[in-house]
Amino acid sequence: MKKKIAIIGAGIAGLTLGNFLQKDLNYDFIIYEKRERLNLDEGFGIQLAVNSVSILNQIGFKELNKSDFFNPKTLNFFSNQSEVCNLDLTQFNVGTEKYTTLKRSSLIKFLKDKLFSNVLRFNKTIEKIEHKKDKIQLKFTDGDVNEVDYLVVSDGVFSATKKVVENEKTKINFKGAFAARTTISKNNFKTPKKENISLIMCSNAHLVLYPVNEDEYNFVAILRNKANTSDGENRELLKKVLEQNNLNFLFNKDVSFWPIYISNKPTISKYKNIFYLGDALYTFLPTMAQGASQSIESADVLFKILEKDINDKQNIYFANRLERIKIINKRSKLNFFAFHLSNSFFVSIRNFILRQLIYNKKFIDNFLGRVFRK
């Protein structure tokens, strides 16, 4: 008899898992989404290293229209306005699996279009769950009821479903920083390095610019601000940083702000047939650009575990993810510290060390290769 799976959340993690389950005739699944529809207009960018591109290629990602993504070859590091060094991103590529940048909405559309339309349910929020022997009964706020063998929760950092399941508040920490994002037409971005990723390290901030397709650039700024202030105050902080780096033209764009949160620690459900994916499992700092990639990885790992006729699936899955989280978390926290140094002496030391390490193959393989390669 087919196993039934409910996936809560139609983000990158949930949609990726759905695409894998759709290929397996042993499962029936439904993806439940609280919104009325998926936002396919949002233009903010994401970065995908080879670890996630190789997974997506299994469901046809390599067939994506070439105008919808970009393969940057170099990451250029700047300290304020001076170039420090360059990282060759092609060293992590494997054949056709290349470091890729694109709009998040382009990836969501690709994943959605690969699914049968009847597996998506919108305007759905879980109100209550009940355990009946080896089954889980889901009761939704609109009165619908469904009984499944497995529940997969992938509804983001503020997972409402997690609170219902575990009967406790999700533990997350405000990191004392904000992200500012916007998109830019390539024609309006004057730089000799338009084909690369630019990372500009500033005092208590860092800026990242990269192409997401043939026509557009993504801009993101991570700004330290311990107070959970209004968008207006954050705009003034962003304006100051942009002026210091001759990027004033970006301030006139429609910039959106988000406070940065990080999970307290990854948690395993007290129920053996419930799994957490993506940000619902663990929310990373954005300083390794691995949020989307880890959502894709976790979906792939869970699918392979579900396929196997083994006991203790939940603990095997959690152990795998915990090891990966530890690796990425250490590097993300180090970057969050190093990118934002303000003392001129320590900045010069950082830049000197970065120039030495960026061409050290052993260091790069350990620090980045263990993350970027599957």
- Sign of the Cα torsion 211, 332, 329, 156 reads negative
Angle at 219 between CA 46 and CA 372, to 5 degrees: 35
The phi and psi torsions of 29 (rounded to 5 degrees) equal -145, 155
Instruction: Dig out the tokens for 24 from the structure.
Output: 């397996």
Give dist(CA 107, CA 101) in Å, integer: 10
Q: Which residue has the tokens 């992938």?
A: 154
Contact indicator for 280, 159 with CB cutoff of 8 Å: yes
The answer to whether the beta carbons of residues 207 and 199 sit under 8 Å apart is yes
Task: List all residues 6 or more positions away from 252 whose beta carbon is below 8 Å from its beta carbon.
Answer: none
What are the backbone angles phi and psi of residue 251, rounded to the nearest 5°? -70, -25
User: Vertex 10, ends 257 and 41: CA angle to 5°?
Assistant: 50
Give the residue from 368, 295, 297, 304 showing the smallest Cα distance to 93.
368
Q: Are 88 and 360 a contacting pair, CB within 8 Å?
A: no
Could you tell me which residues are beta bridge partners of residue 146? 138
pLDDT tens string, the chain, 374 residues long: the values are 789 999 999 999 999 999 999 988 889 999 999 999 998 877 799 999 999 999 999 999 998 999 999 999 999 999 978 999 999 999 999 988 999 999 999 999 999 999 998 999 999 999 999 988 889 999 999 999 999 999 999 999 999 999 999 887 778 899 999 999 998 887 766 655 667 999 999 999 999 999 999 889 999 999 998 876 667 788 888 889 888 888 877 776 788 899 999 998 898 998 889 999 999 999 999 999 999 999 999 999 999 999 988 889 999 999 999 999 999 999 999 999 999 999 999 999 999 999 999 999 999 999 999 999 86
CA atoms within 13 Å, Cβ hemisphere of 146: 23
Distance of CA 356 to the CA centre of its chain: 29
Specify the pairing of strand 172-185 against strand 256-263.
Answer: antiparallel
pTM confidence score: 0.94
List beta partners, residue 130. Answer: 137
The DSSP secondary structure of 275-323, one letter per residue, reads: EE-HHHH-PPPGGG--HHHHHHHHHHHHHHHHHS--S-HHHHHHHHHHH
One-letter amino acid for residue 189 of the chain: F
Q: Where are the beta strands (DSSP E) in 216-272?
A: 216-224, 256-263
Please tell me the predicted confidence (pLDDT) of residue 194: 66
C-alpha span between 68 and 43 (Å, rounded): 11
152/3 Cα distance (integer angstroms): 13
